[in-house]
Structure 1
Amino acid sequence: MHQKKYFNNVEEFLKSSLQFHYIVHIAMSHKQILDEGASSLGLALANCTNLTNLKLDLFGNKIGRKSTSALGSALSNCLNLQNLALYLSQNQIDETGASALISALANCTNLLNLTLNLSHNKIGVFGTSGLDISLENLINLTNLTLDFSDNKIGAKGASCLGSALKNLKNLSNFELYLISNKIGDTYIHTYILAHGYMHSGQGPYIQLLIHYYYTYTNLFIYNCGQYTRREGSPTPQWHFYQSSMI
């Protein structure tokens, strides 16, 4: 069994035996890390080609476009990753950096569990672009958590989510945070759900948590095999079961 490696210093990680890392937790939150430091971290990660598990805590730093793109390029080399958790909240990541990072994940086709937290950045309307293409390749995902809270992605940015979900046939748990993005209830239910999960054919059911206020809705979307199709219609008939708001 491979031992988990823990790092809380950039220099310590850079000097480590990168090619021999399999399970790594890098905890460097609130370290005043700038683009240069994070870019160096990305270059080092690119050499960790045997990684299967990575947890990267970098929230509360000053990471921008350049280093976010570098992290994306690094992760695209880590083809053996099965579990990936990226906590990049409260940085200075713009739409270009976010899009580059998200697009790079398309190469991590062995991922089973993915957590991506980009909350409280500046990714805007186009920051989620590329998400549909990336998730289209991650067909083995079983657990997915996305946090785009407080990024002003709006309805247009959220539209990428709908088409991104439709190919994730093995997904059993999906948690989505869209707090403070000016996306209304109607849009969340009719677009993200209807154009994503509703055409995915997963089953027997998926647990879906959508956070879009400081409350949450718990939805269970059941597989079309449990329901009948209308005669002559290729579209399965879906039913929503919604809990009360807490």
Structure 2
Amino acid sequence: MGLELERALQLQDEIIEAYKQKAAQLREFAVQMKEGPAAALKAGERRAAFLLELQKPLVARYGFEESAKGVRDAMFAYADIAENNLVMKRNNHMERLLAAGEDIDYYLTVVGQQVIRNLGTKRPAPRSAFPLIPREDFIKSVEGRLLPIPREDMLASDTTEELVAACKRGDSRKAEALLGQTGVVNLGFHGLGVGATTFAKALSPKLEVLELDISGNNIGLEGAQALAASMPKNLKVLKLNLSRNRLTLAGVKAIAESIPRSVEVLGLGFSGMKMGPEGGSVLAQAIPPEVKDLSLDLFGNKLGGDGVESISKALPKSLEKLHLVLQDNDLSRRGFFMFDRQIGDPDYQRYLPNLKPENFTKSGELDITEFKELADGTMIRQVDWQRAI
């Protein structure tokens, strides 16, 4: 169901007025979001629920179901007019009202709207320098613009909530029935905890594609070992985001050792594990011999030059695409450019002939400074390297 521009603007105006009437509550949420990551996440979830209840009766006046689905459908109805100047101005005004005058990180100020915009995701997306597991596909509109649509292969949000509940109570039979043969699941920030063990047991051993965001779930060594033990053996695609958990190096090692050698597309999110140089060695040994597409989010792991060198030397010659996140790893200049040395010079033993400059992207330490000379001779400072050339 679409919305004509005039009615769409009317709906936005009604939502804005509702936000103004609830300014005190929104201010309270905004203040709580400044009290640290844990408090911010809880406040964000409470605000998301608050906004959902506020929006349900409003969208119902415009022909949408008075439910979470109706609110989500209303957001989708704006797809064709999202770039209209009047629509964008109102969206910006809404977000300012949500911030309530507080200087809050943008990621948190719009968490209520992200619940809808993330196409069924019930929790805010985990922070990452790149989307390890995309939650949406894109199609061209009649005007040629790209519009987001829900991924058809990703487990639906309502089913995901049922799955989480089943895992938390240890109902493996129900979890297995809900999961079925699906291997694309977003469980990010669902408070799964020890339920990760039940989820692991529900995974189908016949999967060839597993894209699992299980970040921010307070998963420990036991959960990591359970996931490792249940890892399907014939995977071709494995994208696994375990960031913001408490796996320890032993948990990282368990996951790494379980990665099938048949994998051709590999994405691993291990940000914040502080695994040290030994973790680099563990990951190096886990890289499949025929992998073509490799993404590693290693933010905040204190790998040091030795850890990075271990990974760089393990890159196979089959590699065609490489994406790395290396911030907060105590890297020297030598360590930061280790990957460049290993892949960019045919005189080096590890020269990778299939990996082109446009398919090699990395982000690294902000204190590594490079300068670029412009055509007029001006030198400009490039603070953060994003691509090796």
TM-score range, shorter chain: 0.7 to 0.9
- Rounded to whole Å, the distance in 2 between the matches of 1:73 and 1:205 is 33
Shift of the alpha carbon at 1:54?
Answer: 1.1
Structure 1 residues 41 and 123: CA distance shift in structure 2, 3 A: farther
- Rounded to whole Å, the distance in 1 between the matches of 2:353 and 2:228 is 31
Deviations along 1:166-221, whole A, 9 cap, x unmatched?
xx2221110111111111222222x34434674234324433212113533312xx
Give the letter aligned to residue 326 of structure 2: L
Structure 1 residues 24 and 69: CA distance shift in structure 2, 3 A: same
- Rounded to whole Å, the distance in 1 between the matches of 2:236 and 2:326 is 25
Any conservation in 2 of the 1:59–1:89 contact (CA below 8 Å)?
Answer: yes
- Rounded to whole Å, the distance in 2 between the matches of 1:213 and 1:194 is 17
Deviations along 1:15-61, whole A, 9 cap, x unmatched?
2349961x422211111121x2112222332xx12101111111112
Structure 1 residues 128 and 204: CA distance shift in structure 2, 3 A: closer
* Matching residue of 1:50: 206
1:113 to 244, 265, 270: 265
Q: How many residues align?
A: 205
Give the letter aligned to residue 226 of structure 2: A
Structure (1 or 2) with the larger CA radius of gyration: 2
Any conservation in 1 of the 2:363–2:387 contact (CA below 8 Å)?
Answer: no
* Matching residue of 1:126: 278
Structure 1 residues 73 and 128: CA distance shift in structure 2, 3 A: farther
* Matching residue of 1:194: 341
Any conservation in 2 of the 1:19–1:49 contact (CA below 8 Å)?
Answer: no
* Matching residue of 1:28: 187
Any conservation in 2 of the 1:161–1:196 contact (CA below 8 Å)?
Answer: no
2:306 to 129, 152, 156: 156
Percent of residue pairs bearing the same amino acid type: 23
Structure 1 residues 126 and 147: CA distance shift in structure 2, 3 A: same
| 1:138-149 equivalent positions in 2, closer than 5 A | 138-149=288-299
Shift of the alpha carbon at 1:100?
Answer: 1.6
Deviations along 1:111-130, whole A, 9 cap, x unmatched?
12111001123323322333
* Matching residue of 2:353: 203
2:217 to 61, 72, 77: 61
- Rounded to whole Å, the distance in 2 between the matches of 1:20 and 1:30 is 22
| 1:81-120 equivalent positions in 2, closer than 5 A | 81-105=235-259, 108-120=260-272
* Matching residue of 1:41: 199
- Rounded to whole Å, the distance in 2 between the matches of 1:184 and 1:83 is 33
- Structure with bigger RCO (C-alpha 8 Å, 6+ apart): 1
Deviations along 1:41-91, whole A, 9 cap, x unmatched?
22332xx1210111111111211122112212221xx12211111111111
RMSD: 2.5
Any conservation in 1 of the 2:281–2:310 contact (CA below 8 Å)?
Answer: yes
* Matching residue of 1:173: 321
Structure 1 residues 58 and 24: CA distance shift in structure 2, 3 A: same
SS at match of 2:327: coil
Shift of the alpha carbon at 1:150?
Answer: 0.9
Any conservation in 2 of the 1:33–1:62 contact (CA below 8 Å)?
Answer: yes
Any conservation in 2 of the 1:95–1:125 contact (CA below 8 Å)?
Answer: no
Any conservation in 1 of the 2:221–2:251 contact (CA below 8 Å)?
Answer: yes
In structure 2, list runs of 5 or more residues that go unmatched. Answer: 1-151, 367-383
2:387 to 210, 218, 223: 218
* Matching residue of 2:45: none
Structure 1 residues 163 and 204: CA distance shift in structure 2, 3 A: closer
